[in-house]
Structure 1
């Protein structure tokens, strides 16, 4: 990729903190800041980009790049133009330093490995995982990896899960809120979740192919509304479809502060009381809120306050959505909007993520 020439230069768990009770206490202190770990940071390796635009062309993939930006297009959606710092590690490190982020958990975004034929999807996942792991090896104190899986084929997803889980730096698994419009409680994915639970890696979700169609085509509503609604749908399927019951050790993080799910949980609880379709659960749906973690990409201090008060400060993890225009340029200072004690601030800043990712 000529436009990117020179752009890339080729653990024991911490002691678990006692789980704080929901709510906040005290005034934020800016002394004794803990390590900051951003769990919502996207990365596109050169090798992955070239694969989408090269071999992927026969499956409808397209990749274009100039001196300042790049774009993707696939049958499962596209993105762009995006800044080259998604790809260039030196620019990413400079941004991290400027924003006070000590470590990022690298993840793929659209297009994930769900859009082509079986062998190519597996190749996409393997290529991304290997490239992200190589960045961890080069900068082990700055990056860890959330591996992607070719989820449309169960055997391939499990094979890549087992392979990727042994790669240096892999600390979790990244999965879409739906898999090519199939919801996460589909029986196709049950063996994959069982293997993830057995291996003991946390799962991080991210919206893709979101709901709404043409009705969300204007005003960027496909992102502004589609992303949080798709997260709510995914969380609801994991709860109401029994996935969280069948896999009690499965640890799932919801993006964008849980999307619409936490705010709608009262309505879902009411449905559990009134509607027989929802009564497959032994407990009311809201009792599952603490089975999830939530990143801080809410764009709202009151929303994070709501999560702290109703779910618990021990369930929040720092996120930036690096480096999309709907993310945070300053994810660390965004926490200044909250009235947090030093202990609680440090939990959100990186303590919770360090425990989750075994850093």
Structure 2
């Protein structure tokens, strides 16, 4: 029973008390900043969706979501002005931390960083993971065309590795989206390929291997990685690196959320790439509306074998985020 909403999110609902690692929040300050920057249809979507804490909690109760790890979705907090991006990252992280203080068993925070400003991002990561007690960091696949895995991010990766941080990746529109999206919303086609591009670069650049204490969470059932993994692995061997990059071994160290359309094809392919201990539930609310979240939840729960269902819906996430057990934050 949740004292603030009066509801038991584990009772009679499709997800039975799941932990949602792919949920977004949109504060009024963020919404205003987006509109002031001319962003009213983010990444080609029809509108900035509505969001407020109480409607989010009602949605969670209806779907059976016990806790949601909140992050800022694409296009993030950088709308072209470095100073404004630093302030907006600071503000939305403060607002997210307050939401967690108000609802410590229902919300978590994946903090935003004002990338590609590395010094400011290092300072904000320290503040978020330290003073604010954030549960992790949300990173976009690229910032101004510099993809994760680029050497420019090495100081940040070193810090996140030192802090044993959970890092939830999120796609954004590629720089060339006008030439490649064919006029469709970028989440339709571009987002899966941008995720695949970023994760591939993280592995081939050696970032995943150099920083083993970062827990990367790959969104949307691994995007195109389950289909392309073998192709990437063979091409990696052809590069002649010494020692060669073991793509499949590095992919096996990652975590994958099931936000979006995991069934009927993506989840079986993903289970050929990794095992159920690496899978996490994700809703993508509010960019996926509440009625769609519930519609996707029922077949997902039915498709998960009883032996792995609670791992995927709850236990795997609670291992990543021990605060949800009432434990101390990650070291």
Task: Give 1:104's aligned residue.
Answer: 68
Task: Give 1:323's aligned residue.
Answer: 286
Runs of 4+ in 1 over 6 A off after TM superposition: none
In the alignment, does 2:213 pair up with 1:249?
A: yes
Cα 1:242–1:37 change in 2 (3 A) is: same
Residue correspondence of structure 1 range 1-359 to structure 2 within 5 A: 35-53=17-35, 57=36, 61-62=37-38, 71=40, 80-84=46-50, 86=51, 88-168=52-132, 170-210=134-174, 212-220=177-185, 222-276=186-240, 279=241, 282-299=244-261, 300-325=263-288, 328-330=292-294, 332-341=297-306, 343-358=307-322, 359=324
Instruction: Indicate conservation of the 8 Å contact 2:221/2:258, yes or no.
Output: yes
Shift of 1:298: 4.7
Q: Distance in 1 between matches of 2:243 and 2:47?
A: 44
Q: Distance in 2 between matches of 1:148 and 1:334?
A: 32
Shift of 1:214: 2.6
Q: Distance in 2 between matches of 1:265 and 1:208?
A: 21
Instruction: Give TM-score scaled by structure 1 length.
Output: 0.79
Q: Distance in 1 between matches of 2:311 and 2:264?
A: 16
Instruction: Indicate conservation of the 8 Å contact 2:94/2:132, yes or no.
Output: no
Instruction: Indicate conservation of the 8 Å contact 1:180/1:209, yes or no.
Output: no
Q: Distance in 2 between matches of 1:212 and 1:339?
A: 35
SS at match of 1:40: strand
Shift of 1:185: 1.6
Cα 1:133–1:79 change in 2 (3 A) is: farther
Q: Distance in 1 between matches of 2:197 and 2:211?
A: 19
Instruction: Indicate conservation of the 8 Å contact 1:143/1:169, yes or no.
Output: no
SS at match of 2:221: helix
Cα 1:309–1:79 change in 2 (3 A) is: closer
Instruction: Indicate conservation of the 8 Å contact 1:298/1:304, yes or no.
Output: no
SS at match of 2:136: strand
Cα 1:144–1:321 change in 2 (3 A) is: same
Matched residues, number: 308
Cα 1:41–1:111 change in 2 (3 A) is: same
**Structure 2: 5+ residue stretches without partners:** 5-11, 325-331
After superposition, the CA RMSD in angstroms is 2.5
Cα 1:196–1:334 change in 2 (3 A) is: farther
Cα 1:243–1:326 change in 2 (3 A) is: farther
Greater gyration radius: 1
Task: Give 2:327's aligned residue.
Answer: none
